[in-house]
């Protein structure tokens, strides 16, 4: 008797690697296109991190890039609290930026 084939495998197949690569490339294309459209003055409805004068940056998504988060923090801020939907996700002590 032969063993039944399992539908689920913990080993990634070459096809799943290809699919992951396609998804990653599509994400990069979307990021570049969004940046281009914003540079041209078009509204893209992308949610960006928001700085609060109390030293809080509200992050719209847990996938928000570090570059976008740091871009929302004004120069001279020493301590920053990152929140997501009101929940604290991190507290940062920043070095002085010149």
User: Could you report the per-residue pLDDT of 58-81, keeping only the tens digit for each?
Assistant: 999 888 888 889 889 988 888 999
Three-state SS at 54: coil
Q: Could you tell me what percent of the chain has a pLDDT over 70?
A: 86
User: Looking at residue 34, what is its pLDDT?
Assistant: 84
Where exactly are the structural domains of the chain? Answer: 14-44, 50-93
Contacts 24+ apart (CB under 8 A), 46-54: 48/72
Tell me the pTM. 0.57
Q: Does residue 5 surpass a pLDDT of 70?
A: no
Q: Does residue 9 surpass a pLDDT of 90?
A: no
Contact 80, 57 (CB under 8 A): yes
pLDDT confidence band for 95 (50 / 70 / 90): confident
Q: Which residue has the tokens 């070459």?
A: 14
What span, in angstroms and rounded, lies between the C-alpha atoms of 48 and 60?
A: 7
Is the sign of the CA dihedral 66, 28, 48, 58 positive or negative? Answer: negative
Contact 69, 61 (CB under 8 A): no
3-17, 18-32, 41-55, 64-78: least confident range = 3-17
């Amino acid at each position: 008797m032969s063993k039944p084939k399992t539908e689920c495998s913990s080993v990634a197949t070459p096809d799943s690697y290809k699919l992951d690569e396609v998804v990653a490339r599509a994400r990069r294309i979307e990021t570049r296109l969004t940046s281009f459209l914003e540079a041209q003055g078009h509204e893209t409805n992308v949610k960006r991190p928001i700085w609060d004068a109390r030293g809080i940056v509200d992050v719209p998504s847990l996938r928000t890039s570090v570059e976008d988060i740091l871009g929302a923090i004004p120069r001279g801020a020493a301590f920053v609290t990152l929140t997501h939907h009101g929940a604290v996700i991190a507290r940062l002590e920043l070095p002085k930026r010149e």
